[in-house]
Each structure stands twice: as C-alpha cells, then as structure tokens.
Amino acid sequence: MSTEKLRIAIQKSGRLNEDSLKILKDAGVSIDNGKEQLKASARNFPLEVMYLRNGDIPQYLRDGVVDAAIIGENVLVEKGKDIIRGEKLGFSKCRVSLAVPKSMKYKGLKDLDGKKIATSYPNTVNQFLKEKGLTADLHIINGSVEIAPNIGLADGICDIVSSGSTLFKNNLKEVEVMLKSEAVLAISPKISEERKAILEKLQFRFKSVLNART
C-alpha cells in the first residue's frame, strides 16, 4: 500500500481556521490536533494538514510545498492568479470593498482618483482602478486598515467586509464592492498524480458535505 499523503494547508488562525477544520471533520477526516503544532496528520485518511498564514499560502502552492489549500478566493485574486481554483466551499463569505469616511460626500469612483488609499490588497485595487481608468496612491498595510482615514494616513481604504461592524466602528461607509469572495479549495499546479488521486477522494467527500448542508 502507498504511504503517499496529501498535504493540505489551512489558515493557522483567523476566520477560516475553524470552518476549514469543520469541513474536514464533516468529511470524516479526523486530525490529531495538538493546537500548538504547525503540522498534523489525519488518523483515518492519507492527509497532512499544515497551519499557515493566509498570505503565505499561494507561494507554498506555487512551489508545490503543499498540494492543496482551503483559502479565501480574495487571497488568490490578490496573489495567486496562477493557482488552480477548485470547489467553492460555501463559508467565510465576504466582500473586498472600498470605503470612505461617512462624512465624505461620495458621488462616484472618480472622487477617489489620485487619492490616498490604505489597503492590504494592492493588486486587487490597482487592477480594479485600472479597469475604470483611474489611479490611486496606495498605502500598503497588513492589518487594522480601517484606522487609516481617522489618523490622517489615507482618504479611503480597501479591505475585507464581512458583517460591516469594523467599518461602522471606524465611521466608514462601504462605497464600492470590488469582489465577492468565499473559501475555496485551491490546488497546486505541481501536484503529483498520486496525490491528485487522494485529493479527488477528498473533493468527493467535500461535495457530499456541501450537498448535505444546503
């Protein structure tokens, strides 16, 4: 019997982590989960889970260090356009949006032309604005983006919106939805045939789980 195992990456901590573990569990894959470990094996399925930072996952997939991942589509749009996208998994739904201070009299995208925008999604914003024939002065930050307009760092922001509560708390309003996103199965372009066969078994189980959920 083959000792080959599929390596799948999931988010180490954050919004996708819990639901990613849940779909694996619902698919009948039980993982020995020492929370502190960055790598864990499944007991009853040829699978290893690696807990990684969201933003690092596209590179691991590209290099073939992991064979697959559960990741937000928004991350693939931002830095994993070359990564194969499999099934949408129905959780971690969010938008990637532009927001401005509530007090701003926003009439349309042109009001942001040449303005300072704080974001963790520079490629997504640039692409979106380019399509509209606009440009912006991007200020790239990795977290707590919504604070930027309040401290005079930017005129607007582009970030993930889920419940909208972070925007609300920071006196911002969502003015343009650039992208709608949810968790997807991402597949390495370098996956071997042997591991692909394991992945197909997992995909089959995921499909049954998703069917049962709707």
Structure tokens at 41: 């094996």
**Residue 86 within binding range of ligand PRP, rule CB under 6 A:** no
Minimum CB separation of residue 17 from ligand PRP in Å reads 11
Residues from 145 through 184 that contact ligand PRP (CB under 6 A)? 146, 159-166
Residue nearest to ligand PRP (CB): 143
Determine the interface stretch with ligand PRP among 42-50, 109-117, 141-149, 187-195 (rule: CB under 6 A). Answer: 141-149
| Residue in 170, 205, 179, 214 with CA at minimum distance from that of residue 86 | 205
User: By C-beta, is 142 or 214 nearer to ligand PRP?
Assistant: 142
Nearer to ligand PRP, 68 or 75 (CB): 75
CA 113 to chain centroid, in Å, comes to: 27
Identity of the residue, 47 or 160, whose beta carbon is nearer to ligand PRP in the bound complex: 160
Angle at 67 between CA 41 and CA 9, to 5 degrees: 55
In the stretch 2-41, what mask flags binding to ligand PRP with x, by CB under 6 A?
A: ------------x---------------------------
Closest to 89 (Cα-Cα) out of 67, 73, 75 = 73
Compute the C-alpha angle 51/184/53, nearest 5°. 25
Nearer to ligand PRP, 144 or 192 (CB): 144
Backbone angles phi, psi at 53, to 5 degrees: -75, 135
Q: Which is nearer to ligand PRP, 67 or 78 (CB)?
A: 78
Tell me the site size for ligand PRP, rule CB under 6 A.
Answer: 12
Name the minimum Å distance from CB 150 to ligand PRP: 13
Stretch touching ligand PRP by CB under 6 A, among 2-10, 24-32, 70-78, 143-151: 143-151
Q: Based on CB atoms, which residue is closest to ligand PRP, 49 or 118? A: 118
Task: Kindly list the residues in this chain that would bind ligand PRP in the complex (CB under 6 A).
Answer: 14, 143-144, 146, 159-166
